[in-house]
Structure 1
Amino acid sequence: MKVECKCHGVSGSCEVHTCWKVMPPFRKVGNILREKSEGATEVHPKWVSSHKLLVPKSSRFKPYTAHDLVYLLASPDLCDRDPRRGAFGTSGHQCNQPSPATDGRELLCCGRGFRTAQAEVVERCSCELRWCCSVKCRHLVEVHSCH
């Protein structure tokens, strides 16, 4: 949160200050959370003289601070189907074949590869008039889906 203030008064004399807290832009919050989650530390509870502490699960993990994210259980592998844990897998999902982002074949298909098929798409553009009475707005596109 950031504090923003505004001056009020006759001719900008700033007799009264009004201040409030504002959230940073949504994208900035998302980027900070992504960075924190990538550096999160797995911990387990440990009792020390009647106090429950969270200690890193491995001595190889960095000690965490009050500003770090910690977790008790690892997230399920979203690549593989495991309905019991709420993971439905990525098999069959459409991927954006050339994309290096999370919708691309490398990340979304989890290295399992993809298949390519032709699909007919109906759109409102690229229409062609057929002689007497019909307009064709369909064309073929390549669709990529994860194995």
Structure 2
Amino acid sequence: MSEQPERPRRSATATGPGRILIAVYAIFALSATARAAVQIAGKFSEAPVAYLLSGLAGVVYILATIGLAGRKPGYRRLAWAAVVFELVGVLVIGTLTVFDTGDFPDDTVWSVYGRGYGFIPLILPFVGLWWLRHTRARH
């Protein structure tokens, strides 16, 4: 009898609805990073803080995507860190852009809680945190 080789287990976060969540994060990673790259390359002097924050958001979305899709425990920790950072970022930048528009002459991904992206940047980290908690190992 030949023994079947053990197949690598899929990450719990990358199954079922988690695949949709990863796809949404990947789309935001691509769009935020591309937007920031164009802004930084073409008109950085107009709003450097806003454009750098958009770049930071893009990096955070990339890390969250990698963390959610990864299979090892370290990836799960990466996902937690990225999604928590994302939540803090969207709440802080969202609040600052509501009350002090002078420092942000152009929008970031997280401006006014992601208004330019249909408020998905505000909702996404809550969904991400819920999914990470929902898929945690049961002891």
Give the number of the structure whose alpha-carbon radius of gyration is greater: 1
User: In proportion to residue count, which structure has more helix?
Assistant: 2
Given the two structures, how large is their TM-score scaled by the length of structure 2? 0.22
Higher strand content, 1 or 2: 1
Larger RCO (CA under 8 A, 6+ residues apart): 2
